[in-house]
């Protein structure tokens, strides 16, 4: 029997994959690490199917290891007797709590089969939400910008955990980047916001990301791009 790690996408139940929904239907228990992922999961499974696990809000490595060991002890026997799922927002392999569970299962319960169902990650969904095209041949880096941090270096970056947008913004602009922000993109819970003005984001919200691009980026690549007033070919 199997433990499935299911990516639920950014928060809109309509962006759960067909495969994700099929597995949610089939499993006996669905564990969810947070309120938001639970809200999405319960669009497809009854509340009674949601399993009980407590998840640590800590970055202390010892506390983390202990808590995930405890979680794995609860999940392992159920995954041996039947099929269970652990759901996360986005993709289970991108900056995700599922990684803690997978590593703990590998170490202490290697006999449990695991299968991952990929989800739509904020790492790719941001493009459409922010109206950005990462065209072929472009480099794109994923970084974290918690508590006012502002990583620099790559030409284009997606920044997760932008919890102090005004401070991050000031540093990025100083370093020569143009920046656009997205909050609660494709989420049914809370207001979606897309802005280039960091003062719109003074209130802290964990579900905030940024796209930063070097202002002087050379975009002279071969591409099908036209002047706004280019004449359409005439028939005559």
Ligand X SMILES: C[S@@+](CC[C@H](N)C(=O)[O-])C[C@H]1O[C@@H](n2cnc3c(N)ncnc32)[C@H](O)[C@@H]1O
Which residues form the interface with ligand X (CB under 6 A)?
10-11, 88-91, 94-96, 121-123, 160-162, 182-187, 206-209
As to burial, measured by CB atoms within 10 angstroms (0-12 exposed, 13-18 middle, 19+ buried), residue 24 is: buried
* Closest approach of ligand X to the CB of residue 145, in Å: 8
113, two tokens: 């089969």
* Closest approach of ligand X to the CB of residue 120, in Å: 8
Q: Which is nearer to ligand X, 6 or 27 (CB)?
A: 6
3-state secondary structure of 23: helix
Helix (H) or strand (E) run with residue 21 in it: helix 18-26
194: phi then psi, degrees, rounded to nearest 5: -125, 125
Q: Which is nearer to ligand X, 44 or 207 (CB)?
A: 207
Q: Which is nearer to ligand X, 15 or 45 (CB)?
A: 15
* Closest approach of ligand X to the CB of residue 92, in Å: 7
Identify how many contiguous H helices and E strands the chain contains and give both numbers.
6, 9
201, two tokens: 């984001």
**Residue 26: CA atoms inside 13 Å, Cβ hemisphere, count?**
14
* Closest approach of ligand X to the CB of residue 80, in Å: 27
Q: Which is nearer to ligand X, 97 or 104 (CB)?
A: 97
9, two tokens: 């996408």
* Closest approach of ligand X to the CB of residue 76, in Å: 23
Q: Which is nearer to ligand X, 76 or 85 (CB)?
A: 85
- Give the residue closest to ligand X by C-beta: 90
The whole-angstrom separation of Cα 84 and Cα 1 is: 8
């Amino acid at each position: 029997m199997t433990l499935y790690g299911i990516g639920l996408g950014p928060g809109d139940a309509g962006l759960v994959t067909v495969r994700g929904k099929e597995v949610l239907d089939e499993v006996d228990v669905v564990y969810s690490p947070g309120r938001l992922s639970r809200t999405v999961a319960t669009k497809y499974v009854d509340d009674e199917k949601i399993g009980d696990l407590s998840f640590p809000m800590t970055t202390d490595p010892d506390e983390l290891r202990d808590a995930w060991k405890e979680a794995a002890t609860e999940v392992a026997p159920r995954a041996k007797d039947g099929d269970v799922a652990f759901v996360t927002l986005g993709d289970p392999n991108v900056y995700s709590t599922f990684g803690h569970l997978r590593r703990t299962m590998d170490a202490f319960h290697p006999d449990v089969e695991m299968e991952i169902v990929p989800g739509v990650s904020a790492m790719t969904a941001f493009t459409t939400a922010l109206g950005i095209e990462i065209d072929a041949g472009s480099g794109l880096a994923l970084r974290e910008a918690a508590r006012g941090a502002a990583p620099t270096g790559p030409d284009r970056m997606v920044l997760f955990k932008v919890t102090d947008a005004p401070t991050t913004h000031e540093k990025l602009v100083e370093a020569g980047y143009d920046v656009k922000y997205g909050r609660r993109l494709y989420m049914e819970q809370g207001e979606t916001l897309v802005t280039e003005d960091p003062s719109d984001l003074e209130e802290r919200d964990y579900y905030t990301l940024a796209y930063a691009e070097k202002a002087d980026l050379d975009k002279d690549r071969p591409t099908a791009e036209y002047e706004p007033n280019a004449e359409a070919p005439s028939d005559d």
